[in-house]
Structures are given as C-alpha cells and as structure tokens.
A and B are shown apart, each in its own frame.
Chain A
Amino acid sequence: MKTYRANVMICAGTACVSNHSLDVRKAFEEEIKKRDLEDEVQVVTTGCNGFCGAGPIVVIQPDGIFYQFLKPKDVPYLVEEHLLKGRPVKKLMYVPPDEEVPIPKMYDINFFSGQMLVALRNRGMIDPEKIDDYIARDGYSALVKVLTTKTPDEVIEEIKASALRGRGGGGFPAGIKWETCKKAKGEPKYVICNADEGDPGAFMDRSIIEGDPHSVLEGMAIGAYAIGVSQGYIYVRMEYPLAIERFKIALKQAREYGLLGKNILDTGFDFDVDIRRGAGAFVCGESTALMASVEGRIGEPRAKYIHTVEHGLWNRPTCLNNVETWANVPVIILQGAEWFTSIGTGDVSENPWGGSKGTKVFSLAGKINNTGLVEVPMGITLRKLVYDVGGGIPKGRKFKAVQTGGPSGGFIPEELLDLQVDFEQLDAAGSIMGSGGMVIMDESNCMVSMALYFIEFLVGESCGKCTPCREGLRQLRYFLKKIINGEGTVEDLEEIEIISETMQNASLCGLGKSAPNPVLSTLKYFRDEYIAHIEQKKCPAGSCRALIKYEINESCIGCLLCKKQCPENAISGESKKLHIIDQDKCTNCGVCFSVCPVDSIDIISGGEIVYHHEALEVENDKETSV
C-alpha cells in the first residue's frame, strides 16, 4: 500500500460542499500536480468534521493542522508554504473568539478537544466512499467478531449490558427492544434504520451517514444477526441526496466484499438492506408513520397499543433504531459493554433506565460561535457545551436559553446552565433529549416568537389525522399571534394551558402529545415575557414588530445610509446632521437598524429602550479587528 508524506483531508460534508469545498479540492489537486508533489501528498475527501460554521475545512495530516474558511485562491500559497516549505499558514487557522493567537492543531481547539468520538469515530479520518478506509479503521471487525464467536443471545446480552438507549428521541433501551423483537411471534422480521431526521437545525444523522455510512450498515447487520432478521430498510429523507448517494455506494461495496447478501463470510447468515426514500414529512420520523410510508401508504401514525416490535412493518415484528444508535453498536461489540457504561451518568446495573451511558451527538445551531456538530459524553454540563465546545455567544451578547430536542422539546433557561445533559435531567427540566438538536438563543430572541416559530413548524408538519393535534395547533397559533401583536390577554394564557393539556393527553401520536412543549416550557421559564407582551405591550427582546419602534439617538453621524435604504422613505435628515424617523411612515422593518454603521438606532418597546447601542460596542471592536 502506498504511503504519503502528507494527507490533505478535505471536508466534504453538506455544509462544506455548499461552501465550495469541492472547488478547493480541485485547486489542491491542480496545485499538487503543478508542483509535482503527487507521489508525496494525497488529497482525501472526508465526511463532515462537524465544525460547519468554519467551512470549507481542511486538515493536513499527520500533523493535524486545521485550516478554515478556505477558498480556491488560498490554495497555491498554502501548498507552497505548508507542503513545500513546511511553514503552516497562520492566517488561515482558527482564532478563538476574544483572542488573537491562532491555534494550529485541530485537537488543541476547544471545539474538538472537548469532544469524545464514538458514533463519529471515523470523522474526518476516512473517505466515506471507500470501504477500505473503513476497514482500515477496524471497520466490520465487530461483525466478524459476532458472526464467528458469539451467539445471537450473547450479542443481545452485550447490548443490554451496555444500556445503550435509543438516540432518536425516546431513549428506549436498544437491548430490550432487540430481545422483545427476537421473542415476538411472526416471520419474517425486519430491522429499520430511521434516518428521517426532521428537527429544524438538526443534522446529526445526515452527517453520520455522509461521513461514515458503513458504521450504520455494520450496526444494522449486527442487530439483524442478533434478532434473526435477513432484511433491513433504511428510511432516508429525499432532502438528503448526498447521504442517499453515499449509502448506496456503501451498500454496493459491502455486497462486493461479501459483507452483505447471502451467506455472509461463509457463516450462513443472510442479510441485505434496501433504501426507502421519504418525502420529507416530519411525522414520518414517528415509527408507525415511518412504517406506513415504507409500505407505500400515507405516512400517518397509528395508535401503538400493539407495539411495532410485535406488529410493525407489514404486521411483522420490526426493530427500529435511529442512525446514531446503530452507529454505536459496532464500537460496543469491539470495546465491550463495560467500557461503554464507564462513560456517562447514573447506575444501570439494575435497569437500563437508571442512567444515560455513552456519548451523544448534538448539533449546535443558533446564536453560538461554533455552529456545528459535536459528540460529547453524557452528563456534560450545558455550560461546558455552550461555552467551551460551542465557543460562547457571538457579538458579546448574553445567553438566554437553549432549545433542545427539536420542536417536541423545550427551552432551558440560563439558571439551569449547570444541568448535566442526559435523558433524566433534560426530562426533569421540562425538555427532552430528542435526537440531539440544540438551538441557542441570546437576549435578542423573543421567547414568545420562538414558541410561535416552533408551533408554526408543527402546524405545517402535523399529519392532520387527529383532532387535538390538528385543531389544537390552530388555536395555539392563534393565541400566540394575538400575544405577539399586543392583543393578548391573561385569559389567553389560561386557554393555551388548557388546550396544551388536552393535546398532551389526548393526541394520537408522539408528535401531537409533545407539540405543546415549546409553549409550555417558555411559559414555565419565561412567563414574565408573556406578561410583558400582554400587560405592558412590551417585547423585552425588541423583536416583535407590532410592539416596537425604532428611534435614532444622538450618536448618529448623519451618514444618510439609513435614509437611502429605508423602503418607506420614513427617515429625514441631512448629511452630518441627526436623522429622524417618521413613526407614522415607519413599518418597523428594521433595515435602518441593520445598516447603521455606528449603531445609533435604539429599539423602544413598552415606552422603554430595550435595545441600545452600548451593548454592541464590544462587538464592533471585534468585527473591525477581524
């Protein structure tokens, strides 16, 4: 096998690709050819590195030097300096917020050093389209191990002992699910991989499939062997074309290598996987709706009085796990349940619900410096996740809340920042782990608007089958809009709570039962903000258009920029003189606020200044220095 002096690992996750990382690859290939380095330097395209906000990303191995925001025009200089002269290029490296000295090595950067990679173990290290890369990193050795040395029952015992809980939202112990499915009557049985990731701002599963499709496939094969299944399905949404493409390649390669298909590795075990593409309905992430969709029917949930492990796909026993759950399986088989339970919280020696073991992948989105994908041990504090790994809040603003678990989850306020992130504690705080989406909000986010945002999302995604979910969402949206427009009353809050209670108790599926969570958790922690909207007609975050007005303060330098940009011609004033906004013409569109170079525009709500430029001074200094 050919070895190289250096490997240029180019991130080809969706975020980097959409920022033209493939052009960067082309530039590298051309430059390396031009400089006659083809025998010394290899260019590798990898899956997502997770640091999506900094893309396109390149890591030069074996030194582990990390470069960000690369453009094709940076490449000739980088090749000359780093690969020829051995001088890493500082200006393309990562600089932490509030600091000036760049950090050259990938694993010295907080974002990466605070993580622990299990499901994402091959992140950035392999080319996802090459099965040999996966095999070189111990890939498929867990499958070989179970097929040659373990009985199906021993595999189930191992997974049960590891207390691996479902990573898709419910947190149901995978080992128990496998065992129940194995014992259920009916043949044939099926395994399904749920890759219908639909939470806004969540991209964990997509990244795993794009970056390491074989890990999911190997996990499914191990599960299939344990349960006694010969057919699996992976349900991926159409919006993930790259994931579908890479999984197709992985299937083809695994079949060619005899790791999938009839009589795998001469052990007599048959297993194959088919891809089923979903049309992007959020509700199809719910197991019964997903199975209906795989069968070719309308993706609507049914009541689960009879469980899918007994009557699932085509009424046969079916074991459904999420992408991340499957990706964890090979590692548990290789490293052992004892190793897995050494990570995380709680005591699972008596029962698997006693704690949260292993790691969890989260996607960090919203008002956070390091937007991207992270894998951290269960039990990490929210503070560490947001400030160390996530790099804190941009523009020197104040943290307000983090929304976990997607639209079905809840908001966690600042006073709970020291909460340990695991199934139990998130639940106790009125939120859920969900599939791992985290949206961070700062002081400029109005919590009533955020609640409405998630309700609007669910209004669009409810399947419309049962009354409480469909009609309850209609009413919740109505009352929230009323409040945001300054027309709400305290009685509206009572109505919201009564409707929410019926939705939680009387809805058909998990979507409807959890749909009021965004409203209830904001009401729980930010009730004063609702009251301010209702009683003082004030939006404390300065974001609800009906309740604010913009005013220009004395720091205005009279640059005419806002006057030119105002679509309503509501701003008057001459050059170098204080400008004034005509409140009768102003529609509160906020264009002046965003174009003002000196932040002279205040936001007034409820008769008070809720947003003043001083808060932004730090940010301006920083932005100009960059």
Chain B
Amino acid sequence: MTEVNAARDTKPETVQMTINGNSIETEKGKTVLEAARENDIEIPTLCYHPGLESIGACRLCLVEVAKSSRPGRKRLVTSCLFPVENGLIVDTQSNVVRQHRKIVLKLLIARVPDSDVIRRLADEYGVQESRYVEREDADKCIMCGTCVRVCNAMGANALVTLSHGLDKYVDVPNKNACIGCLACALNCPTNAIPFEETDGKRRIWGKEFDLVRCWASGEPIGTLEQIWHFAKRSDIPIESFLKSDKVREREDAAESVGVKL
C-alpha cells in the first residue's frame, strides 16, 4: 500500500461520508475503522493494531457499506482495510453486521473457551449457550497474527505461523532469533502468550533470558539481547539504554534546568 502512504505524506484530500447516519469528514487514504474511531464510533476489533499493517483476519470489524449512488446495494466489508471514499454510507451496527459478529464470536469462544476477553465480547453480542464443539487442549490463541506482525515490526522476525488451516500455530522455530522483548506477549489481545520474570530472569517461548539492571536504580530494564538489538537498530549508544525509565526521566528533568547528574 505504498500509494496510500504516499497520499498521506502529501496534501491530505478530504472525504465526506456518513457513519451510522452521522456526516463525518476525514482524509483520503484512511480506512473506515480509522475514520470511525476518530469520531468516537466504536467498532470491535481483535487483530487490529494502529501501529501495524492490517490483515483483516479476525473479521470482527465487519461493517455494511453502500455508495451514495446506489444506497440499496449494501456489502459487508472489513473496516480495518476498506478505504474511505466520498459519499460512502457506513453502518457499523446493522442487524446483518451484528448477526455475523455474533457468529464469529461464537466460533471464537469455541476455539478459546477460557479467554475472558472473548467471553466479555461474546456476552455483549448475546452469545449464550453454544452447541459448537470446543477445541481440545485449547490455549487462548485466536490466530490474529498480531504477535507475528509486531515481532516483524521490532525487526526480530522470530515469530512465524506454521502449518495451515485448523493446525495453524505460532512458534519460534529459531530460538536464537527471539530477543525476549515481550512485544508479542504485551500486544496479544487475548493474553495468550505466557511469560514470567523471577530472580533476574525472564522466560518466554521456552527460552530463558538474563535481565539487565539499571546501573543507577538497580531496576530490571530488559534482556541483554533486546538492548543490543535496539541499540544496533537505532544507532543510539548502548549506554543510553542501560537506564531505567525513572532514572532517565530524572536526568532529563535535571538537564532541562541546567544541572548535570
């Protein structure tokens, strides 16, 4: 979508459209979801992350759209991918939309029966009893791919999806690639990626990392691999990574009044 980005960099063209009957103005190149959220219209999402490329995997952000030239011809689209256009009529809560979201949630709850996040959403959409078969040995992963995309964005590229269909799963085939940065676990919408930190060690994806401590405060900052990776990637001297956020804030405050600590 390079051209979409290019459009964003140059002069933004405005677009007039309606969402749930309200006229809104937004910029060309945005998606329907972005336009809706700017205007405080809520659309549920699971695989969407504002910092990552959208892939339209969870199908929860479905909305109905129609063009003003043919308002009767409605189609279901994923709002995280569908680009805004002039005269677009969007309905985020129609009966059709709600019905399909409900079934998608019903399907998801059968996949991850133990997930509180999905349970809460399912309750909102009135999913009560379900006769669907629950997945055996279910974890909490809904295959939204956020972890893989965020790992890719971090430049570590340790996480990948393996296999396909019902057997698809996320794993770290090359353990050396994982830097233990927790970006996957902290961005997972269903908290499906377990990790733990005890005694100066961090464990994730079956790998144990030593935590580096701030030289000033002694607080754990992150893994050595993670710090190395970010220093190399950003070209910022590694020393500046070896301080905790609190110490760095204090230093910045002192520097702003002309004191060097």
Contact = CB atoms under 8 A, between A and B. Distances in A.
Interface of A: 281, 283, 298, 302-303, 305-306, 311, 315, 459-468, 470-475, 478, 491-492, 495, 498-499, 501-502, 505-508
B59 A467 contact: yes
Interface in B52-101: 55-60, 62, 76-78, 81-83, 96, 99-100
A302 B53 CA distance: 12
Contacts of B168: 463-464, 470
Given A462-B164, A467-B142, A474-B166, A505 B100 contact: yes
B158 to A, nearest CB: 16
B104 A315 contact: no
B110 interface: yes
Interface stretch (B16-24, B127-135, B212-220, B229-237): B127-135
A499 B76 CA distance: 16
Nearest to A505: B76
Range class of the B interface residue count: 35 or more
12 contacts: A281-B164, A311-B1, A459-B166, A467-B60, A467-B142, A474-B111, A495-B132, A499-B107, A501-B103, A502-B107, A505-B100, A508-B56
Given A305-B77, A468-B59, 7 more contacts: A303-B77, A466-B58, A467-B59, A467-B108, A474-B133, A502-B107, A506-B100
Contacts, number: 110
Given A502-B103, A506-B100, A460 B165 contact: yes
A588 B55 CA distance: 47
Given A303-B81, A467-B108, A508 B62 contact: no
B183 interface: no
Give the one of A281, A505, A508 with max B CB within 10 A.
A505
Interface of B: 1-3, 55-60, 62, 76-78, 81-83, 96, 99-100, 103-104, 107-108, 110-111, 131-133, 135, 142-143, 145, 161, 163-168
A315 B59 CA distance: 24
List the 7 closest pairs (A to B, CB-CB), nearest first: A464-B168, A471-B107, A502-B103, A478-B133, A462-B165, A506-B100, A303-B81
Contacts of B132: 475, 478, 495
A473 B110 CA distance: 12
Nearest to A498: B103
Nearest to B133: A478
B165 A470 contact: yes
A499 B107 CA distance: 9
Nearest to A474: B166
Contacts of B135: 474
B99 to A, nearest CB: 8
A465 B107 contact: no
B59 A506 contact: yes
Contacts of A471: 107-108, 110-111
A492 B55 CA distance: 32
A466 B165 contact: no
A506 B76 contact: yes
Given A463-B165, A465-B55, A470-B165, A305 B83 contact: yes
Given A475-B133, A491-B131, A508 B59 contact: yes
A492 B103 CA distance: 15
A472 B107 contact: yes
B107 A467 contact: yes
B205 to A, nearest CB: 20
A460 B167 CA distance: 9
A468 B166 contact: no
Contacts of A505: 76, 96, 100
B103 A499 contact: yes
A305 B108 contact: no
Give the one of A306, A470, A501, A507 with max B CB within 10 A.
A470
A463 B56 CA distance: 14
A468 B165 contact: no
Given A467-B57, A471-B108, A506 B62 contact: yes
Contacts of B58: 466-467
